[in-house]
Amino acid sequence: MSMPRKPRQSQSVNKPKEMARNSLRTNVNNQVVSSVTQELRHLIATQEIPPGSKLSEVFLSEKYGISRSRVRDVLSTLEQRGLVERIPNRGAIVVRLEISQIFDLYEVREVLEGLCVRLATIRGDSKKWQAYLKEFNGHLEKFVKQGDIDQYIAAYERFHADVVASTGNQILAEILDGIFERTQTVIRRTIILPGRATQGLKQHQAVLAAMCEPNPEKAEQARRETLRSAKSYIERYQKYIL
């Protein structure tokens, strides 16, 4: 007497499980690609991977344990952000900014960061700007006089991030994130130029004082003046920056 066969699971039963596995696999791959992209963005922005460097698909695939197709996704994102250029028969090359491009970026920064400060003055927490003003008028002034520029740069970057976040404007934040990423090294090199940290500190004190009044238009003009001043320093000392 033959034993009754177990009924086969229908494809309709297996399909949701397979879809769930595929979805999980895709999410994991996307997270890995995002993580690799973020790391490379940081390394390029800080010039730990210097301009002109070639990003090899094979090397990146082996280093991060991802497929070459995923590496191409990463490189495509970096290219869209203006960090690399993909050249036929050469591959992906880290972009080297020309002085004219830096000036263009600073002109855009002047307008957008002025707007940013104005919106942050209107929409942000006034107590936060008062705390920053106290910090910039207090121990940061001492750090700059002592030549401890790292402390000043850290406070500047914190203030910049808080101002952008306080605008509540995601589009503005994304545009400035891309610009800051491309000019981060230039910003840091400019700050350490002779007299620039002292001048920049005074200008930021003026921006914060206007934000605390609060006077959005005055704060915007003060921030725009800071960027114009930084640009003039770059023009003067460009051979030491690039």
- pLDDT higher than 80, residue 19: no
- pLDDT higher than 90, residue 131: yes
The share of the chain scoring above pLDDT 70, in percent, equals: 88
d(CA 36, CA 70): 10
Confidence band of 181 (pLDDT split at 50, 70, 90): very high
In the sheet that holds 91-94, the strands lie side by side as 54-55, 91-94, 84-87
Q: Where are the domains of the chain?
A: 15-94, 99-241
- pLDDT value for 45: 87
Q: Average the pLDDT over 190-200 and give the result.
A: 93
- pLDDT value for 241: 82
Q: Average the pLDDT over 124-149 and give the result.
A: 94
Print the SS3 string covering 84-126: EEEECCCEEEECCCCHHHHHHHHHHHHHHHHHHHHHHHHHCCH
Confidence band of 31 (pLDDT split at 50, 70, 90): confident
Q: Is 91 helix (H, G, I), strand (E, B) or coil?
A: strand
- pLDDT value for 60: 94
Structural Rg of the chain based on CA atoms:
24
Strand partners, 92: 55, 86
Average pLDDT, rounded, for the chain: 90
CATH code, residues 99-241: 1.20.120.530
Confidence band of 21 (pLDDT split at 50, 70, 90): low
- pLDDT higher than 90, residue 239: no
Per residue in 90-121, pLDDT tens?
899 999 999 999 999 999 999 999 999 999 99
- pLDDT value for 86: 92
Structural fold of domain 15-94: Arc Repressor Mutant, subunit A (1.10.10)
